[in-house]
Protein backbone atom coordinates (compact mmCIF):
# COMPACT_ATOMS: atom_id res chain seq x y z
CA UNK A 1 0.00 0.00 0.00
CA UNK A 2 1.69 3.25 -1.03
CA UNK A 3 2.41 5.93 1.57
CA UNK A 4 0.99 9.43 1.73
CA UNK A 5 -2.52 10.61 1.20
CA UNK A 6 -4.62 8.38 -1.01
CA UNK A 7 -8.01 9.73 -2.13
CA UNK A 8 -9.20 6.17 -2.68
CA UNK A 9 -8.76 5.32 1.01
CA UNK A 10 -11.33 6.22 3.65
CA UNK A 11 -10.19 5.98 7.23
CA UNK A 12 -12.59 4.51 9.72
CA UNK A 13 -12.88 5.38 13.41
CA UNK A 14 -10.05 4.36 15.73
CA UNK A 15 -10.42 0.95 17.27
CA UNK A 16 -9.61 0.04 20.88
CA UNK A 17 -6.04 -0.91 21.73
CA UNK A 18 -5.44 -4.62 21.33
CA UNK A 19 -2.56 -6.67 22.67
CA UNK A 20 -1.11 -9.59 20.72
CA UNK A 21 1.16 -12.27 22.14
CA UNK A 22 2.92 -14.97 20.13
CA UNK A 23 5.01 -17.29 22.38
CA UNK A 24 7.65 -14.96 23.90
CA UNK A 25 6.77 -11.94 21.72
CA UNK A 26 4.33 -9.31 23.00
CA UNK A 27 3.33 -6.04 21.42
CA UNK A 28 0.35 -3.72 21.26
CA UNK A 29 -1.37 -2.12 18.29
CA UNK A 30 -3.80 0.76 18.12
CA UNK A 31 -5.12 0.20 14.62
CA UNK A 32 -7.26 2.19 12.24
CA UNK A 33 -9.28 0.38 9.61
CA UNK A 34 -9.05 1.65 6.03
CA UNK A 35 -11.05 0.59 3.02
CA UNK A 36 -9.66 0.87 -0.47
CA UNK A 37 -10.76 -0.89 -3.64
CA UNK A 38 -12.68 -3.56 -1.67
CA UNK A 39 -9.52 -4.47 0.29
CA UNK A 40 -9.06 -4.08 4.04
CA UNK A 41 -5.90 -2.65 5.57
CA UNK A 42 -4.76 -2.16 9.14
CA UNK A 43 -2.68 0.97 9.81
CA UNK A 44 -0.75 1.33 13.06
CA UNK A 45 2.16 3.66 13.96
CA UNK A 46 3.24 4.03 10.38
CA UNK A 47 3.24 0.25 9.79
CA UNK A 48 0.63 -1.01 7.32
CA UNK A 49 -0.45 -4.58 6.83
CA UNK A 50 -2.75 -5.81 4.08
CA UNK A 51 -4.84 -8.50 5.72
CA UNK A 52 -5.86 -10.12 2.48
CA UNK A 53 -2.40 -9.87 0.95
CA UNK A 54 -1.60 -13.49 1.80
CA UNK A 55 -3.08 -14.71 -1.43
CA UNK A 56 -4.70 -11.55 -2.87
CA UNK A 57 -8.20 -12.84 -2.19
CA UNK A 58 -9.05 -16.31 -3.38
CA UNK A 59 -11.56 -15.08 -5.96
CA UNK A 60 -9.09 -12.85 -7.82
CA UNK A 61 -9.12 -14.11 -11.43
CA UNK A 62 -5.37 -14.06 -12.10
CA UNK A 63 -2.32 -13.74 -9.91
CA UNK A 64 1.20 -13.32 -11.22
CA UNK A 65 4.24 -13.46 -8.95
CA UNK A 66 8.00 -13.71 -9.08
CA UNK A 67 9.01 -16.89 -7.27
CA UNK A 68 12.10 -15.36 -5.71
CA UNK A 69 10.20 -12.96 -3.46
CA UNK A 70 6.57 -13.47 -4.63
CA UNK A 71 6.41 -9.85 -5.80
CA UNK A 72 3.22 -9.08 -7.68
CA UNK A 73 3.33 -9.20 -11.49
CA UNK A 74 0.75 -8.73 -14.17
CA UNK A 75 -0.13 -11.82 -16.12
CA UNK A 76 1.73 -10.41 -19.12
CA UNK A 77 4.88 -9.89 -17.02
CA UNK A 78 4.56 -13.39 -15.55
CA UNK A 79 4.35 -14.96 -19.00
CA UNK A 80 7.30 -12.98 -20.32
CA UNK A 81 9.47 -13.24 -17.20
CA UNK A 82 11.69 -15.95 -15.81
CA UNK A 83 11.27 -17.71 -12.49
CA UNK A 84 7.61 -16.68 -12.28
CA UNK A 85 4.28 -18.27 -11.46
CA UNK A 86 0.88 -17.42 -12.89
CA UNK A 87 -2.32 -18.53 -11.15
CA UNK A 88 -5.45 -18.25 -13.26
CA UNK A 89 -9.11 -18.99 -12.60
CA UNK A 90 -11.69 -19.06 -15.37
CA UNK A 91 -9.27 -17.29 -17.75
CA UNK A 92 -10.69 -15.39 -20.70
CA UNK A 93 -9.77 -16.06 -24.32
CA UNK A 94 -7.07 -13.39 -24.39
CA UNK A 95 -5.14 -14.87 -21.47
CA UNK A 96 -5.54 -18.43 -22.71
CA UNK A 97 -4.32 -17.37 -26.14
CA UNK A 98 -1.22 -15.86 -24.54
CA UNK A 99 -0.66 -19.03 -22.47
CA UNK A 100 -1.10 -21.12 -25.59
CA UNK A 101 1.57 -19.13 -27.41
CA UNK A 102 3.88 -19.09 -24.40
CA UNK A 103 3.89 -22.90 -23.97
CA UNK A 104 3.22 -23.72 -27.66
CA UNK A 105 0.03 -25.62 -26.89
CA UNK A 106 -2.37 -26.97 -29.46
CA UNK A 107 -6.14 -26.59 -29.35
CA UNK A 108 -6.63 -29.97 -27.66
CA UNK A 109 -4.60 -28.84 -24.66
CA UNK A 110 -6.66 -25.65 -24.44
CA UNK A 111 -9.87 -27.69 -24.48
CA UNK A 112 -8.46 -29.90 -21.74
CA UNK A 113 -7.63 -26.83 -19.64
CA UNK A 114 -11.17 -25.49 -20.04
CA UNK A 115 -12.79 -28.81 -19.12
CA UNK A 116 -13.51 -28.94 -15.35
CA UNK A 117 -14.30 -32.67 -15.59
CA UNK A 118 -11.15 -33.76 -17.40
CA UNK A 119 -9.55 -36.88 -15.88
CA UNK A 120 -5.97 -36.71 -14.55
CA UNK A 121 -3.36 -36.77 -17.28
CA UNK A 122 0.34 -36.06 -17.82
CA UNK A 123 1.99 -34.88 -21.04
CA UNK A 124 5.56 -33.83 -21.81
CA UNK A 125 5.43 -31.56 -24.86
CA UNK A 126 7.96 -31.52 -27.66
CA UNK A 127 9.32 -28.15 -26.57
CA UNK A 128 10.15 -29.53 -23.12
CA UNK A 129 7.16 -28.04 -21.30
CA UNK A 130 4.93 -30.28 -19.22
CA UNK A 131 1.17 -30.30 -18.81
CA UNK A 132 -0.30 -32.24 -15.91
CA UNK A 133 -4.00 -32.34 -15.05
CA UNK A 134 -5.12 -33.46 -11.61
CA UNK A 135 -8.55 -33.70 -9.99
CA UNK A 136 -9.36 -32.54 -6.49
CA UNK A 137 -12.58 -32.12 -4.47
CA UNK A 138 -13.97 -28.65 -3.98
CA UNK A 139 -12.98 -27.25 -0.61
CA UNK A 140 -16.31 -25.49 -0.05
CA UNK A 141 -19.02 -26.85 -2.38
CA UNK A 142 -22.01 -24.54 -2.43
CA UNK A 143 -24.62 -27.18 -3.13
CA UNK A 144 -25.25 -30.63 -1.81
CA UNK A 145 -27.75 -31.69 -4.43
CA UNK A 146 -27.24 -34.66 -6.65
CA UNK A 147 -25.55 -33.78 -9.92
CA UNK A 148 -23.83 -30.69 -8.54
CA UNK A 149 -20.12 -30.38 -9.19
CA UNK A 150 -18.15 -31.79 -6.26
CA UNK A 151 -14.67 -31.75 -7.83
CA UNK A 152 -12.68 -29.91 -10.45
CA UNK A 153 -9.67 -30.49 -12.63
CA UNK A 154 -6.57 -28.34 -12.20
CA UNK A 155 -3.99 -27.83 -14.94
CA UNK A 156 -0.32 -27.20 -14.22
CA UNK A 157 1.91 -25.98 -17.05
CA UNK A 158 5.65 -25.61 -16.54
CA UNK A 159 8.94 -25.29 -18.37
CA UNK A 160 12.39 -24.20 -17.30
CA UNK A 161 11.33 -20.54 -16.92
CA UNK A 162 7.88 -20.45 -15.32
CA UNK A 163 4.86 -22.43 -14.21
CA UNK A 164 1.15 -21.75 -14.53
CA UNK A 165 -1.65 -23.07 -12.32
CA UNK A 166 -5.06 -22.89 -13.99
CA UNK A 167 -8.55 -23.55 -12.63
CA UNK A 168 -11.07 -23.94 -15.49
CA UNK A 169 -13.79 -22.22 -13.45
CA UNK A 170 -13.64 -20.55 -10.04
CA UNK A 171 -10.60 -20.91 -7.84
CA UNK A 172 -11.50 -23.38 -5.10
CA UNK A 173 -8.07 -23.96 -3.57
CA UNK A 174 -6.14 -21.08 -2.04
CA UNK A 175 -2.34 -21.28 -1.89
CA UNK A 176 -0.56 -18.70 0.24
CA UNK A 177 2.27 -16.86 -1.45
CA UNK A 178 4.62 -17.64 1.41
CA UNK A 179 4.40 -21.35 0.65
CA UNK A 180 5.96 -20.83 -2.79
CA UNK A 181 8.47 -18.06 -2.06
CA UNK A 182 12.09 -18.82 -2.89
CA UNK A 183 11.42 -21.98 -4.91
CA UNK A 184 12.61 -22.69 -8.42
CA UNK A 185 10.10 -23.70 -11.09
CA UNK A 186 10.44 -27.47 -10.65
CA UNK A 187 10.19 -27.25 -6.87
CA UNK A 188 7.21 -24.92 -7.23
CA UNK A 189 5.37 -27.53 -9.31
CA UNK A 190 6.11 -30.21 -6.72
CA UNK A 191 5.08 -27.91 -3.87
CA UNK A 192 1.75 -27.07 -5.51
CA UNK A 193 0.99 -30.75 -6.06
CA UNK A 194 2.03 -31.54 -2.50
CA UNK A 195 -0.26 -28.85 -1.05
CA UNK A 196 -3.27 -29.97 -3.07
CA UNK A 197 -2.67 -33.64 -2.29
CA UNK A 198 -2.44 -32.92 1.43
CA UNK A 199 -5.77 -31.11 1.28
CA UNK A 200 -7.35 -34.09 -0.44
CA UNK A 201 -5.91 -36.34 2.28
CA UNK A 202 -7.29 -33.97 4.91
CA UNK A 203 -10.71 -34.15 3.23
CA UNK A 204 -10.57 -37.95 3.42
CA UNK A 205 -9.74 -37.76 7.13
CA UNK A 206 -12.66 -35.37 7.71
CA UNK A 207 -15.11 -37.55 5.82
CA UNK A 208 -13.87 -40.65 7.62
CA UNK A 209 -14.45 -39.02 11.02
CA UNK A 210 -17.92 -37.82 9.98
CA UNK A 211 -18.83 -41.26 8.71
CA UNK A 212 -17.53 -42.94 11.89
CA UNK A 213 -19.75 -40.72 14.01
CA UNK A 214 -22.79 -41.21 11.80
CA UNK A 215 -22.27 -45.00 11.64
CA UNK A 216 -22.21 -45.14 15.44
CA UNK A 217 -25.51 -43.26 15.50
CA UNK A 218 -27.03 -45.67 12.99
CA UNK A 219 -25.93 -48.76 14.93
CA UNK A 220 -27.08 -47.26 18.24
CA UNK A 221 -30.63 -46.74 16.94
CA UNK A 222 -31.21 -48.90 13.88
CA UNK A 223 -34.90 -48.03 13.88
CA UNK A 224 -34.13 -44.41 13.00
CA UNK A 225 -31.01 -45.05 10.93
CA UNK A 226 -30.87 -42.84 7.82
CA UNK A 227 -29.42 -45.31 5.34
CA UNK A 228 -29.93 -42.94 2.42
CA UNK A 229 -27.60 -40.39 3.99
CA UNK A 230 -25.04 -43.09 4.75
CA UNK A 231 -25.28 -44.24 1.15
CA UNK A 232 -24.65 -40.68 -0.07
CA UNK A 233 -21.62 -40.40 2.21
CA UNK A 234 -20.33 -43.69 0.86
CA UNK A 235 -20.74 -42.42 -2.71
CA UNK A 236 -18.79 -39.27 -1.87
CA UNK A 237 -15.86 -41.09 -0.31
CA UNK A 238 -15.86 -43.68 -3.09
CA UNK A 239 -15.57 -40.78 -5.56
CA UNK A 240 -12.52 -39.58 -3.60
CA UNK A 241 -11.04 -43.06 -3.99
CA UNK A 242 -11.33 -42.95 -7.77
CA UNK A 243 -10.07 -39.37 -7.81
CA UNK A 244 -7.02 -40.20 -5.71
CA UNK A 245 -6.11 -43.30 -7.70
CA UNK A 246 -6.32 -41.58 -11.07
CA UNK A 247 -4.38 -38.54 -9.83
CA UNK A 248 -1.75 -40.82 -8.28
CA UNK A 249 -1.22 -42.39 -11.69
CA UNK A 250 -0.56 -38.96 -13.25
CA UNK A 251 1.82 -38.06 -10.41
CA UNK A 252 3.63 -41.36 -10.88
CA UNK A 253 4.14 -40.54 -14.56
CA UNK A 254 5.56 -37.16 -13.52
CA UNK A 255 7.94 -38.91 -11.11
CA UNK A 256 9.31 -40.93 -14.02
CA UNK A 257 10.21 -37.72 -15.85
CA UNK A 258 13.98 -37.05 -15.68
CA UNK A 259 13.47 -33.51 -14.37
CA UNK A 260 11.43 -34.75 -11.39
CA UNK A 261 12.91 -38.19 -10.74
CA UNK A 262 13.98 -38.54 -7.12
CA UNK A 263 12.15 -35.42 -5.93
CA UNK A 264 11.41 -36.04 -2.24
CA UNK A 265 8.40 -33.71 -2.04
CA UNK A 266 6.81 -35.28 -5.12
CA UNK A 267 7.42 -38.78 -3.75
CA UNK A 268 5.78 -37.73 -0.49
CA UNK A 269 2.78 -36.36 -2.41
CA UNK A 270 2.51 -39.65 -4.31
CA UNK A 271 2.57 -41.60 -1.03
CA UNK A 272 -0.07 -39.30 0.48
CA UNK A 273 -2.28 -39.75 -2.56
CA UNK A 274 -2.09 -43.54 -2.27
CA UNK A 275 -2.79 -43.26 1.45
CA UNK A 276 -5.87 -41.16 0.72
CA UNK A 277 -7.06 -43.73 -1.82
CA UNK A 278 -6.50 -46.61 0.61
CA UNK A 279 -8.27 -44.86 3.48
CA UNK A 280 -11.19 -43.80 1.31
CA UNK A 281 -11.55 -47.27 -0.20
CA UNK A 282 -11.47 -49.02 3.18
CA UNK A 283 -13.97 -46.53 4.61
CA UNK A 284 -16.34 -47.02 1.69
CA UNK A 285 -16.16 -50.77 2.25
CA UNK A 286 -16.74 -50.31 5.98
CA UNK A 287 -19.76 -48.11 5.30
CA UNK A 288 -21.21 -50.86 3.11
CA UNK A 289 -20.71 -53.36 5.94
CA UNK A 290 -22.46 -51.01 8.36
CA UNK A 291 -25.39 -50.66 5.98
CA UNK A 292 -25.65 -54.44 5.72
CA UNK A 293 -25.44 -54.76 9.52
CA UNK A 294 -28.23 -52.21 10.00
CA UNK A 295 -30.40 -53.99 7.44
CA UNK A 296 -29.68 -57.31 9.14
CA UNK A 297 -30.70 -55.92 12.53
CA UNK A 298 -33.87 -54.45 11.05
CA UNK A 299 -34.65 -57.79 9.42
CA UNK A 300 -34.05 -59.59 12.72
CA UNK A 301 -36.44 -57.23 14.47
CA UNK A 302 -39.05 -57.85 11.80
CA UNK A 303 -38.57 -61.61 12.13
CA UNK A 304 -39.08 -61.39 15.89
CA UNK A 305 -42.30 -59.47 15.40
CA UNK A 306 -43.56 -61.91 12.77
CA UNK A 307 -42.64 -64.87 14.99
CA UNK A 308 -44.57 -63.40 17.91
CA UNK A 309 -47.61 -62.73 15.73
CA UNK A 310 -47.45 -66.26 14.33
CA UNK A 311 -47.39 -67.78 17.82
CA UNK A 312 -50.34 -65.65 18.91
CA UNK A 313 -52.25 -66.68 15.81
CA UNK A 314 -51.59 -70.40 16.36
CA UNK A 315 -52.52 -70.21 20.03
CA UNK A 316 -55.72 -68.27 19.47
CA UNK A 317 -56.95 -70.26 16.46
CA UNK A 318 -58.12 -73.35 18.48
CA UNK A 319 -59.81 -71.02 20.94
CA UNK A 320 -61.67 -69.45 18.08
CA UNK A 321 -62.75 -72.89 16.83
CA UNK A 322 -64.10 -73.86 20.24
CA UNK A 323 -65.88 -70.55 20.62
CA UNK A 324 -67.34 -70.91 17.14
CA UNK A 325 -68.70 -74.39 17.80
CA UNK A 326 -70.42 -73.44 21.03
CA UNK A 327 -71.51 -70.13 19.60
CA UNK A 328 -73.70 -71.73 16.89
CA UNK A 329 -76.54 -71.91 19.45
CA UNK A 330 -78.65 -74.57 17.71
CA UNK A 331 -81.83 -75.74 19.47
CA UNK A 332 -80.81 -79.42 19.51
CA UNK A 333 -77.35 -78.76 21.09
CA UNK A 334 -78.08 -80.34 24.49
CA UNK A 335 -74.58 -79.50 25.71
CA UNK A 336 -75.61 -75.85 25.86
CA UNK A 337 -77.95 -76.73 28.73
CA UNK A 338 -75.13 -77.86 31.05
CA UNK A 339 -74.92 -75.50 34.03
CA UNK A 340 -71.11 -75.55 34.02
CA UNK A 341 -70.74 -75.54 30.21
CA UNK A 342 -69.45 -71.97 29.98
CA UNK A 343 -66.74 -72.52 32.62
CA UNK A 344 -65.69 -75.80 31.03
CA UNK A 345 -65.34 -74.19 27.59
CA UNK A 346 -63.33 -71.24 28.97
CA UNK A 347 -60.97 -73.47 30.93
CA UNK A 348 -60.66 -75.79 27.96
CA UNK A 349 -59.62 -72.94 25.69
CA UNK A 350 -57.10 -71.64 28.23
CA UNK A 351 -55.57 -75.06 28.81
CA UNK A 352 -55.38 -75.81 25.11
CA UNK A 353 -53.77 -72.42 24.38
CA UNK A 354 -51.31 -72.84 27.24
CA UNK A 355 -50.35 -76.29 26.01
CA UNK A 356 -49.63 -74.91 22.55
CA UNK A 357 -47.57 -72.07 24.01
CA UNK A 358 -45.51 -74.50 26.12
CA UNK A 359 -44.98 -76.73 23.10
CA UNK A 360 -43.72 -73.77 21.02
CA UNK A 361 -41.40 -72.75 23.85
CA UNK A 362 -39.96 -76.27 24.20
CA UNK A 363 -39.31 -76.47 20.45
CA UNK A 364 -37.75 -72.95 20.63
CA UNK A 365 -40.14 -71.64 18.03
CA UNK A 366 -40.94 -68.76 20.34
Judged against a pLDDT cut of 90, whether residue 284 lies above it is answered with yes
Q: Using an 8 Å Cβ cutoff, are 246 and 276 in contact? A: no
Which has the higher per-residue pLDDT, 354 or 25?
354
Compute the chain's Rg from CA coordinates.
36
Q: Cβ neighbours of residue 312 under 8 Å, at least 6 residues apart? A: none
pLDDT of residue 36: 35
pLDDT in tens, 177-224: 788 999 999 999 999 999 999 999 999 999 999 999 999 999 998 888
Rounded-to-integer distance, Cα 149 and Cα 143, Å:
8
Look at 281 and 9; give whichever has higher pLDDT: 281
Q: Is the pLDDT of residue 17 over 90?
A: no
The residue-averaged pLDDT of 239-252 equals: 93
Q: What percent of the chain has pLDDT over 90?
A: 47
Given a cut of 90, whether residue 35 has pLDDT beyond it is: no
Q: Residue 108 above 90 pLDDT?
A: yes
Numbers of helices and strands, H then E, in the chain: 7, 13
DSSP secondary structure, 125-156, as one string: -TTS-EEEEEEEE-SS-S--STTS--EEEEEE
Task: Tell me the average pLDDT of the chain.
Answer: 80
Residues 248-257: what's their mean pLDDT?
Answer: 93
Residue 271 pLDDT grade (very low, low, confident, very high; cuts 50, 70, 90) = very high
**CATH code of the domain occupying 57-182:** 3.30.460.20
Sheet holding 39-44, edge to edge: 10-14, 32-36, 39-44, 47-50
- Report the pLDDT value the prediction gives residue 102, as an integer from 0 to 100: 93
Taking the C-alpha atoms of residue 340 and residue 342, their distance in angstroms, rounded to an integer, is 6
Amino acid sequence: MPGGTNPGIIKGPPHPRRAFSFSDMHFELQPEVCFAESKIYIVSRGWRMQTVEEHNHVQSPNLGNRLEDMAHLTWQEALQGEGTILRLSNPDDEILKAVQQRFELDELHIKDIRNPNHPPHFTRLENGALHIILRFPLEHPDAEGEGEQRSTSISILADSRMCALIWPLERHHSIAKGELAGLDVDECVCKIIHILVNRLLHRVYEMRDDMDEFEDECLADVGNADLNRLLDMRKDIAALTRMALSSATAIEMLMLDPAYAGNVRLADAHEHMHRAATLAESKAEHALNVMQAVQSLLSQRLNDVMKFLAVITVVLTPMGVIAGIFGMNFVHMEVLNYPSGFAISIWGMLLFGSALAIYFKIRKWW
